[in-house]
Amino acid sequence: MAKTDKEEFLSLLRSYQGIIHKVNLIYFSVSEDRKDNFQEVVYNMWKAYPALKNKDKIASWIYAISINTSISKIRKDSRYTFSGDMESINISSLDDDVEVTIDFQRLLDAIRQLKEADKSIMLLYLEDYSYNEIGDIIGISSSNVGARINRAKKQLEKLLK
């Protein structure tokens, strides 16, 4: 990577690091795992950066890499299991680093109980991405995104009653 590209990459990471943190937040409850995954995402971004053509959609690009890397890490790590059926929320699994409100912790726990694909879709929905943009990042049609969001919203509402 050329020096100017490196500088550009650094400034991009400084501006958009929040995306990686948010994806980490919904996939990992342990702070150490989030730190590890952050580095892995940066590594995958570094590899993919020279081939990045559409710099207007940088946020979507980072979301795609962060989601794929997180799912890949969960798959490799035997401590995690792929989410399937919904269970009741276990509020005792409080995150270990920053103090958060009980409502937010309950919301995080509920999102973490959604299926793997739904977690990402819900995150993008909460971040105000349009159905089309979510569809592009996940690789499914916008109507499917809509159906999936409606179902996930109902599941979350039920879990957070």
Q: Is 86 in the site for another protein (CB under 8 A)?
A: no
User: Maximum distance among all alpha carbons in the chain?
Assistant: 53
Q: Is 130 in the site for another protein (CB under 8 A)?
A: no
SS (H, E, C) the chain: CCHHHHHHHHHHHHHHHHHHHHHHHHHCCCHHHHHHHHHHHHHHHHHHHHHCCCHHHHHHHHHHHHHHHHHHHHHHCCCCCCCCCCCCCCCCCCCCCCCCCHHHHHHHHHHHCCCHHHHHHHHHHHCCCCHHHHHHHHCCCHHHHHHHHHHHHHHHHHHCC
List the interface residues with another protein, window 35-64 (CB under 8 A).
38-39, 42-44, 46-48, 51-52, 61, 64
Among 30, 91, 94, 100, binds another protein (CB under 8 A): 100
Question: Which lies closer to another protein via its Cβ, residue 90 or residue 147?
Answer: 147
Q: Is 6 in the site for another protein (CB under 8 A)?
A: yes
Among 27, 28, 65, 129, binds another protein (CB under 8 A): 65
The footprint of another protein (CB under 8 A) covers 1, 6, 9-10, 13-14, 17-18, 21-22, 25, 38-39, 42-44, 46-48, 51-52, 61, 64-65, 67-69, 71-72, 75, 82, 84, 95, 97-98, 100-101, 103-104, 107, 115-118, 120, 126, 136-141, 143-148, 151, 153, 156-157, 160-161
